[in-house]
Amino acid sequence: MRHCSYSAPWGLQTWLITGILSALMLAVAIGSSFVLGKEGRGQRGPIWIIPTLVVVGILGGASLWRVRRYELADDELLVARSFWSNRIRLLDIESAEVDPKACERAWKTYGNDGLFAMHGRFRNQRLGKFQAYVTDRKNAVVIRVPGDIIVISPENPGRFVADLRRRLQRGKERG
């Protein structure tokens, strides 16, 4: 069976949160550089490097966790990150459905709610507890596996779910 890849486009909320937080951190770094530069006269080396490195470290570290794409391989769904992939066995998937409201009013219990993606553990009234790998909430696909709910957001959620269901059906037919 062919390997299918779906991009993980950013929705408006991801763009806004990432842009605002990046600009805010950059402003703090620049502002603290001026303050530290005035107080640190006569010291050796450029003091502005410290806040700049902190900002670069935070943004660089957070960007490593971003969701790059979703891939349907022969026997698993891969959520591709920068240097690794989260794997979900197709045999474990009980159902998959498009649900653009899946992430509404979600409370973060552990993770990141918008800087480069919405990923981690969340809870809301609609789904209860769930794991998110979401870049665009309006493209949400809810995947149910034993003991957990996973929400992803591929570029074309309808096509993704149809492709996933075909693979699941073929897996059941094979045994």
Tell me the average pLDDT across 154-160.
97
Counting Cβ atoms within 10 Å, is residue 63 exposed (0-12), middle (13-18) or buried (19+)? middle
Is residue 4's pLDDT more than 60?
Answer: yes
Helices then strands, each counted (H, E), the chain? 3, 10
* Residues whose CB is less than 8 angstroms from the CB of residue 20 and which lie 6 or more positions away in sequence, other chains included: none
Range of the domain at 112: 1-175
Choose among 155, 148, 110, 153: nearest CA to 127. Answer: 148
- Entry pTM: 0.86
pLDDT digits (tens, 9 = 90+) for 124-150: 999 999 999 999 999 999 999 999 999
The number of domains in the chain is: 1
What span, in angstroms and rounded, lies between the C-alpha atoms of 60 and 77? 26
pLDDT band at 39 (very low <50, low <70, confident <90, very high): low
Is residue 155's pLDDT more than 70?
Answer: yes
Instruction: Yes or no: say if 77 and 93 are a contact pair by the CB < 8 Å rule.
Output: yes
Tell me the average pLDDT across 74-86.
94
- Please report the pLDDT score of residue 37 as a whole number: 62
Give the single-character DSSP code of 166: H
Residue that has been written with the tokens 């005035």 in this structure: 38
